[in-house]
Structure 1
């Protein structure tokens, strides 16, 4: 028998990375500075105060890269990630960063629905979408790739989402049920499984990249490797990667660097 996994320890990122307040304060500063220099176009996708997308335009009509923020579905908003548009914007690629309502005010299933509404609104721009996201945002990005868009809205193209690029993603939410993270999520075994893309039908097209920070806990490696293996076995193009020297909070930093391998891969996914 293998050792029992302590899911509370494995998934409590703030406890594992005690310098996280300084890192997130840096996000806020960098995001505010980028927004001042590059004011986004605001796109509403629903009636709520958080139902807004920040669009940082590119210089072409090619695919848009969407970035969905993390925070365990219960913290942060899209504006705190504004600076992460810098790397792709430098290459003329548009970046859309949606916000969404947070648990416990809504359910995780409700947030998946909100991201589908945001994606449908972005479809009006007439450009394919590459979905990316960090942590809970990685979960949501995978959910968007696996969504049957014609079933959701018959007016949408089947291949609206052409790829998902996830950083420190969560694809199996069942281990979170017995942790303190679930106090706001209110998941049980059944609802956790229902919102876990690992247990959905694999997408029929596109690709999945799943990256993990080098110093992240074993569960994050398991999550991404299991997802890559499962969807890869179903015929989807998948790849697993490691962000060198990164923890859970610093793994997204390369998005702000126009010359990072992360930005180079997203350029490739966007056909540039």
Structure 2
């Protein structure tokens, strides 16, 4: 297997830079036009430990989704993804989108801890359990939230704080990245790669639906299919979607993926 070719999504999709620039424009336009939001809410002391919270309307009494962005744990931030909330908001679900620190400035395990901190802050603010979605690296983070034993972090937390997840084009086995240019900033040992691979963690139960683009690499398709099978979740390959356009249906008003995500969020509210 040529792991570099299988996992280097920006190289696989020549228009990836234009698509990411389009995300930034769409996200900025969405923020400018959405009145029910809180920006830069802190979930930790760090500069990037902030999240934006979009609500369907006034008040706080909404089911709550946490969306974790991608970028191979070493690029982008929440400002590229505000528009992804659109589809869920239309279905009556609030959406929190955090930034987090990036590799190599911090280790990947620290990013997992930050995702957990964002989830705990949202629960303490709302009293609600959370539905987690994530794209690419965010798919791994969403799965790690599902797998977390929350009572070991705070006995006051519900055991099933994040009982449902929708990882989109995630990486659930990190070892295949170790021989690629992608891994240079991650600085993972084989042992750390396995410990941070949801595929090899015990299934926490709950509701899981794994989505991948039908036009993605054979390895992305395999990882998503194998992870869904390992945790007893659903699997869906979206026809014609690549690693970047696979996110579009979540943002679409009335889209099937947005409706599925909203149903999962409503079920845990």
Q: Secondary structure at the match of 2:261?
A: helix
Aligned match of 1:23: 19
Return the alpha-carbon distance in structure 2 between the equivalents of residues 34 and 70 of structure 1: 19
For the pair 1:267 / 2:262, whether they are aligned, the reply is: yes
Please give the per-residue CA displacement for 1:38-90, whole angstroms capped at 9, x wherever unaligned: 25313201111110011001347343111100000000001110000011111
After TM superposition, which residue ranges in structure 1, 4 or more long, deviate above 3 angstroms? Answer: none
- What is the CA-CA distance between 1:191 and the residue it aligns to? 1.1
Q: Secondary structure at the match of 1:270?
A: helix
TM-score normalised according to structure 2 size: 0.94
Q: Give the length in aligned residue pairs.
A: 262
1:153-168 aligned within 5 A: 153-168=154-169
Return the alpha-carbon distance in structure 2 between the equivalents of residues 271 and 65 of structure 1: 9
Please give the per-residue CA displacement for 1:146-181, whole angstroms capped at 9, x wherever unaligned: 101111211111121120101101110000011000
Return the alpha-carbon distance in structure 1 between the equivalents of residues 79 and 150 of structure 2: 27
Aligned match of 2:38: 41
Q: Secondary structure at the match of 2:250?
A: helix
- What is the CA-CA distance between 1:92 and the residue it aligns to? 2.1
8 A Cα contact 2:66 2:132, kept in partner: yes
1:58-207 aligned within 5 A: 58-59=56-57, 61-124=61-124, 125-203=126-204, 205-207=205-207
TM-score normalised according to structure 1 size: 0.93
- What is the CA-CA distance between 1:250 and the residue it aligns to? 0.6
8 A Cα contact 2:93 2:266, kept in partner: no
Return the alpha-carbon distance in structure 2 between the equivalents of residues 137 and 185 of structure 1: 15
8 A Cα contact 1:62 1:128, kept in partner: no
For the pair 1:257 / 2:252, whether they are aligned, the reply is: yes
Return the alpha-carbon distance in structure 1 between the equivalents of residues 74 and 258 of structure 2: 27
Return the alpha-carbon distance in structure 2 between the equivalents of residues 266 and 73 of structure 1: 23
Aligned match of 2:10: 14
Return the alpha-carbon distance in structure 1 between the equivalents of residues 9 and 221 of structure 2: 14
Root-mean-square deviation over aligned CA pairs: 1.2
Given the alignment, which residue of 50, 53, 65 partners 2:51? 53
Question: Unpaired segments of 5 or more residues in structure 2?
Answer: none
Return the alpha-carbon distance in structure 2 between the equivalents of residues 162 and 8 of structure 1: 33
Q: Secondary structure at the match of 2:245?
A: coil
Please give the per-residue CA displacement for 1:97-118, whole angstroms capped at 9, x wherever unaligned: 0110000000111100111111
Return the alpha-carbon distance in structure 2 between the equivalents of residues 31 and 106 of structure 1: 26
8 A Cα contact 1:131 1:164, kept in partner: yes
Please give the per-residue CA displacement for 1:26-48, whole angstroms capped at 9, x wherever unaligned: 10000000111125313201111
Return the alpha-carbon distance in structure 1 between the equivalents of residues 32 and 50 of structure 2: 18
